[in-house]
Structures are given as structure tokens and as C-alpha cells.
Amino acid sequence: MKNEKNLRALVFERDEQVRNALTRVLESFEVSVSSFANGDDALWGVREAGPDAYDIILLDHGIDGVLHRPTHTGRRGDVIAVHLINKYPKCVNNIYVLIASSDDDFYARYQEMGLNYLQKPISKSDFEALIRNANLRKLRKKRLLN
């Protein structure tokens, strides 16, 4: 799948190997990627670039940052997602929470919150759908502005 719309992605992933793998795969789809290891840096990245700068935001469920309350599984990425949505409501469809657990409670919570999520490891078809959806959102946005 080709990236037709010059997509930009922001990756929040605490695990360096996973972060690098996500970056490589997105770049193979010709997506420009900014990656961050913790939530505070990622939020700074969104503020610095502007809320409309990123077409795809991948958020590790267990990302670290001071905005979270620690849980037994680490820091909660859904808190950063909610923070971004409250501050930048238009970015809700661009956010995908990355979940490594098979616990159905995570999926139910994200569905209830209206958040997109992807199960790790992310398949090639999931990446293709992610790129296709981001291209479509960008095309619709462009048509609305013209």
C-alpha cells in the first residue's frame, strides 16, 4: 500500500526495539515518523508540531509519563489519549492505542472511550488498513477545506 498523501505519524512506545520496528514499518510505507519513548516528550511533540501535524498517532498502552497514575501493568496510555482528545478533539480518529495484552477489559474500555486500538504484534494487513484509513481521512479533510 502506497502512502499517497504524505502522511506523518507520531509513535509513543516505551520499548526501544518495538519503537524502532514500528518506525521502520511506517517508513516502509513512506510515512514520515517522529518517535518518543515517554508520554511527556510525546505530548511536547504534539504541542510543538501542532495538533493537525500528525495523521497517525500510535500510543503504547503502557507508555510512561507524569500525567499517568501507575498501575500494576505500568503507566496507562489511555490517560495520554484522553488528554490529547480533550486538548485537541479533532485528533481522536488519528489515535490508535497499542495493546500487548489479551485481556478483554482493555478492548472494552477503549471501545467505551471511542478509541481505536491495535493488538501487538501488528500484522501487515493492520498496517495497510492504518495507512489506507489515514489517507482517506486526509483526503476528506482536504476536500472539506476546498
pLDDT tens digit sequence for 3-47: 556 899 999 988 899 999 999 999 999 999 999 988 888 888 888
Determine contact, residues 12/36, Cβ cutoff 8 Å.
yes
Measuring CA to CA, how many Å separate 54 from each of 73, 88, 106, 145?
A: 28, 12, 25, 17
For residue 83, is pLDDT > 90?
Answer: no
For residue 99, is pLDDT > 90?
Answer: no
Question: What average pLDDT does range 43-52 have in this prediction?
Answer: 87
What does the alpha-carbon distance between residue 113 and residue 40 come to, in Å, rounded to a whole number?
21
- In the chain, the amino acid numbered 13 is E
Query: What was the pLDDT predicted at 142?
Result: 80
Q: Which domains are present in the chain?
A: 8-145 (3.40.50.2300)
For residue 146, is pLDDT > 80?
Answer: no
For residue 68, is pLDDT > 50?
Answer: no
Question: What average pLDDT does range 131-140 have in this prediction?
Answer: 91
